[in-house]
Structure 1
Amino acid sequence: MSLTWSGLPAREAAFTEHMTPEQMMSGPAGKVVHQAKSPMGAMLQLGSAAQKVGPLTDSIRQHGYQPEVHGHLHLTRRDDGYEAFHVSGHEEPGHPLHGVPAKQAGTALVRALHESGHSAPAPVHVEHVELKKRPVVQHEEEPEPDFPGKGVTYYHGTIGEHGTDDAPDHIEPASAHGQGVTFQHMTSPDHAYATTSERDAWDYAGKKFDRQGTEGHHVPKVYEVRATGPVEADPRWDDERGMSRNTNENDHRSKHPFEVVREVDPPEHIRDFYYSRHYNRD
Structure 2
Amino acid sequence: MEALWLHAYVRWMADRRGRHLINFLVNSPEGTYFLESVDASVEVQYAFMLDLLEKNIEEIGKDIVVQVIIDNGANYKAAGRILMDRIPTLFWSSCAVHCLDLMLEDMGKLHPFQKIIGRARRVTTFIYRHGRILSLMREKIGGADLVRPVATRFATSFLTLKSLHKHKDSLKALVLSEEWIGNKLAKTAADAEVHDTVLSVEFWNAVEDCFRASAPLRIVLRVVDGDEKPVMPDVTTLMNHAKEKIKLSFIVDNKKVLLKKIMEIIEKCWMK
* Bucket of the pairwise TM-score, normalised by the shorter protein: under 0.3
Between Structure 1 and Structure 2, the one with more strand by share is 1
Which of 1 and 2 has higher RCO (CA within 8 Å, sep 6+)?
1
Structure with higher Rg: it is 1
Q: Structure 1 or 2: larger helix share?
A: 2
TM-score (norm 1): 0.20
